[in-house]
Structure 1
Amino acid sequence: MSDLSGIDLSAVVKAYDVRGVVPEQLNEDLALLFGAAFVETTGAEAIVTGHDMRSSSPGLAAAFARGAAAQGADVTEIGLCSTDELYYASGTLGLAGAMFTASHNPARYNGIKMCRPGAAPIGQDTGLREIRALVERWAAGEGLPEPRRPEGSVVRRDMLEEYAAHLLSLVDLSGIRPLRIVVDAGNGMSGLTAPAVLGKVPVEVVPLYFELDGTFPHHEANPLNPANIVDLQNAVRENAADLGLAFDGDADRCFVVDERGEAVTPSAVTALIAVRLLAEHPGSTVLHNLITSRTVPEVVREHGGTPVRTRVGHSFIKAEMNRTNAVFGGEHSAHYYFRDFYNADTGMLAALHVIAALGSQPEALSGLVRRYQRMPASGEINSTVRDTQSTLAAVREHFTARPGVATDDLDGLTVSAPTWWFNLRPSNTEPLLRLNVEATESSTLNRIRDEVLTLVRA
């Protein structure tokens, strides 16, 4: 084993996953230790692994499997897959799982997303802290403990068709009208999963960048950056398409553009899917993180559901999905969670719901979602600061002096008034504050946004 003493695990182990530059921060020797620590922490006798299309992913996944097997766990490797396919495997097989991906990060990065059986999340408070502590101890020279069981087996299994069939069983697409859909895979894993799923749907797919390529030669696989959906927007217009879909690198997020090539906000997608699922499951709970539009809880209440506001982050939302038995949850970052998908996030299932909603009625997508885009929003604005806590305190003091203003600390600082609200939230990994503002009028939005940014950047 190579020398791991120079690797700073505090920079690699994030709030919800492991992520770093390969090989400087994450290499195969370290992945082996993570595999062993994963088994030690979870007590798993069998696990499932998968990986994305990055050149480093197969080696890292294989090393993790060796570490897990050395501690006595049997390993099922499903190979190339999307993150939500790994969650499907974890759920349907009842196994703890590990996905090797750095999602939307640049090519030099890789990482590990881990879960317990049934796709239950592993974050800092649900096992990741313990896994890091073991890896640090072993990397410092203590060595792996004696395994409690004989060495486990490592077997391969392809689950793509099972995954596709499961998704298609959850949405009725039999009666939809003909649709032309542009899909931008961004050279990520939806280049594999989209043909398997959408190839069985009565729609015409115009593919963009379906070739699996972890160097991302066309654009970063991060559709929340407006620069990365320009090709999709142009292709929708050029092909007179009804809809455009863009997936991130590991295809657990889905971003939508309408027939004009205009972006549909994830909040509007959340509201649209909530309406569909509340019609199927009347009176259910729907989760939304605190940065989604106020329109989302309004729409949920209008359709007889119970909205529940949550912190940002998949481990928090999945835990809340389980606690509340919510039928669905949505985030501003285009993560969508489904009770029928082991409470996990899946961009492809969200896409199928949008296709079903659009294809089951004659209206264009822009008209269909207009009712769910009621307030102007700023989008996320990042500011680098020296001291996040003192900056938050200064912003709080500035705004709480005003009548009719309320604050809460569910995740960062949220300040609310009758015609506007904003959330200012520290990054988990960088000296950044992330600002989101929404208001009933654009002029109010601009005024509040500028006022907060002046305080933050002073």
Structure 2
Amino acid sequence: MHTPSKDIFKAYDIRGVVGKTLTAEAAELIGRAIGSEAQVRNVKAIVVGRDGRLSGPELVEALSNGIRAAGIDVIDVGRVATPMLYFAAYKLETLSGVMVTGSHNPPDYNGFKMMLAGETLAGDAIQALRQRIKEKNFSEGEGRYDTYDIAEAYLERITSDIKLSRQMNIVVDCGNGVPGAFAPVLFRRLGCRVRELFCDVDGTFPNHHPDPAKPENLQDVIEALAKTDSEIGLAFDGDGDRLGVVTKDGTIIWPDRQLMLFAADVLERHPGAKVIYDVKSTRLLAPWIREHGGEPVMCRTGHSFIKAAIKETGALVAGEMSGHVFFKERWYGFDDGLYAGARLLEVLSQVDNPSELLNALPNSVSTPELNLKMAKEGDNHELIAKLQETAQFDGADEVITIDGLRVEYPDGFGLARASNTTPVIVLRFEADNKDALERIKGDFRKVLASATDAKLPF
């Protein structure tokens, strides 16, 4: 038995190319390590589920065999969206689950998102699993195997709580990801008229990639809104934990602006509540949250860091630029694109013109996420560490280093941070106007060019 490649053990999950770095044998060993760690944490059963990828059934079987060989029971909830797996872990009172998903990666990828005893495994906890496999430090036993259909309980839980003020007429694009099996059903039960785009689950993703963070993947929604009487468009990623939103006129409402609407809604009921957002988000969020009576909290990017911050601060809603939205108010504090879509419609159904409400949210001039590719794994972290020590930014008000370098100016900000999933530096710029944006980009260009030969993407 070979120890799986260290490259698949990422910051927030385990992920690799099926049949190459992620094999059935590797999945079984990872299952044994997870099961053994579960024993230490006094966990008796783990819920497992999978998205719509073709490799899902084989990997779930191998993973389950490994978990059971460590003496832990497995409850298999079948093909579900990632948030439904989290919901099952709460509903079935295991507080532990493994989701077999490649999220928005290409079709030949797959991986595992893991939660044990209520804690989302990340960073050192994921590396510890690899260490366990290397040392063959496994518990032994014979866990049981059961199946459970969670879909009805999940849909019922949302529809019993969320009520729309009027019928909404929406476009739903699932990009052939697993949300296609559940999102149209959910929104029809909430009383919507639903125009479906690519809602048949197909692990080859024949139409466009299921990643609403990229504008090219939202073009079909934009076109459907232009050609039909639908009033708003929702798009989901491959495993359903992220939401994309498009208005009637084809404007993409990026997740940091979605969070403004969610924050204002939650703060109406809970004045003074904390709202968490990640370092990639707009600088217009903090003043908006304060204006609406809340306390803004900036956090490192990454769903596991945000979940930890929610526990630590007691925040009632959180979001990050990539599209993960977390509700602690009326929900469980995990990221759920389908639930976020339902909460969005609840707010929008109270007005006659939802697009007008969304388009009126504060906005600024900004770049999309830009990626500076580095030669190899680790180079990105080294470069950021070096810049945190040495970089000088003239005219900056503040340099925030909780996650890379976020440099705040009187009229904008620039961000450079190391991605935790690929060897790139993630860059983002925002300003009050185009001139300020160019000036801030110029500052970063100068600093980066003095520290690396890599080709700058801006």
Confirm or deny a common fold (TM above 0.5): yes
After TM superposition, list the pairs within 5 Å mapping 1:123-134 onto structure 2.
Answer: 123-125=122-124, 127-134=125-132
- Structure 1 residue matching 2:308: 3-state secondary structure: helix
How many angstroms does 1:355 deviate by?
Answer: 1.0
Alignment match, 1:162? 153
C-alpha separation between the residues in 1 aligned to 2:187 and 2:354?
20
CA contact (8 A) 2:36 2:139 kept: no
C-alpha separation between the residues in 2 aligned to 1:373 and 1:107?
37
Alignment match, 1:152? 143
- Provide closer, same or farther for how the CA distance between residues 371 and 19 of structure 1 changes in structure 2, counting only shifts above 3 A: same
Structure 2 counterpart of 1:358, from 348, 357, 382:
348
C-alpha separation between the residues in 2 aligned to 1:350 and 1:49?
23
- Structure 2 residue matching 1:344: 3-state secondary structure: coil
Tell me which moved more, 178-187 or 163-172: 163-172
Alignment match, 2:66? 67
- Structure 2 residue matching 1:31: 3-state secondary structure: helix
Structure 2 unmatched runs, 5+: 454-458
Alignment match, 1:420? 412
Alignment match, 1:223? 212
How many angstroms does 1:63 deviate by?
Answer: 1.1
Structure 1 counterpart of 2:37, from 25, 35, 41:
41
CA contact (8 A) 1:94 1:117 kept: no
C-alpha distance after superposition, 1:41-76 (max 9, x if no partner): 122211100001111101101111111111111111
Matched AA of 1:82: A
C-alpha separation between the residues in 1 aligned to 2:359 and 2:272?
24
CA contact (8 A) 1:274 1:328 kept: yes
Matched AA of 2:158: L
Q: Does 1:195 align with 2:187?
A: no
Alignment match, 2:2? 4
C-alpha separation between the residues in 2 aligned to 1:41 and 1:431?
29
Matched AA of 1:60: L
How many angstroms does 1:451 deviate by?
Answer: 3.8
How many angstroms does 1:196 deviate by?
Answer: 3.0
- Structure 1 residue matching 2:276: 3-state secondary structure: strand
C-alpha separation between the residues in 1 aligned to 2:383 and 2:132?
34
Q: Does 1:272 align with 2:261?
A: yes
CA contact (8 A) 1:38 1:68 kept: yes
TM-score normalised by L of structure 1: 0.92
Q: Give identity over the alignment, percent.
A: 33
How many angstroms does 1:396 deviate by?
Answer: 7.2
Tell me which moved more, 406-415 or 386-395: 386-395
C-alpha separation between the residues in 2 aligned to 1:124 and 1:42?
17
How many angstroms does 1:342 deviate by?
Answer: 2.2
C-alpha separation between the residues in 2 aligned to 1:270 and 1:445?
23
Alignment match, 2:11? 15
Alignment match, 2:456? none
How many angstroms does 1:361 deviate by?
Answer: 1.0
Alignment match, 1:141? none
How many angstroms does 1:390 deviate by?
Answer: 4.1
Tell me which moved more, 207-216 or 237-246: 237-246
Alignment match, 2:251? 262
CA contact (8 A) 1:296 1:372 kept: no
- Provide closer, same or farther for how the CA distance between residues 338 and 394 of structure 1 changes in structure 2, counting only shifts above 3 A: closer
Q: Does 1:322 align with 2:311?
A: yes
Matched AA of 1:32: E
Matched AA of 1:121: T
Tell me which moved more, 85-94 or 422-431: 422-431
How many angstroms does 1:285 deviate by?
Answer: 1.0
C-alpha separation between the residues in 2 aligned to 1:363 and 1:382?
36
After TM superposition, list the pairs within 5 Å mapping 1:33-432 onto structure 2.
Answer: 33-43=29-39, 44-95=43-94, 96-118=96-118, 120-125=119-124, 127-138=125-136, 145=138, 147=140, 149=141, 151-173=142-164, 175-176=165-166, 178-339=167-328, 340-365=330-355, 367-385=356-374, 387-388=379-380, 389-390=382-383, 393=386, 397=390, 399-400=392-393, 402-432=394-424
C-alpha separation between the residues in 1 aligned to 2:90 and 2:158?
13
- Structure 2 residue matching 1:422: 3-state secondary structure: strand
TM-score normalised by L of structure 2: 0.92
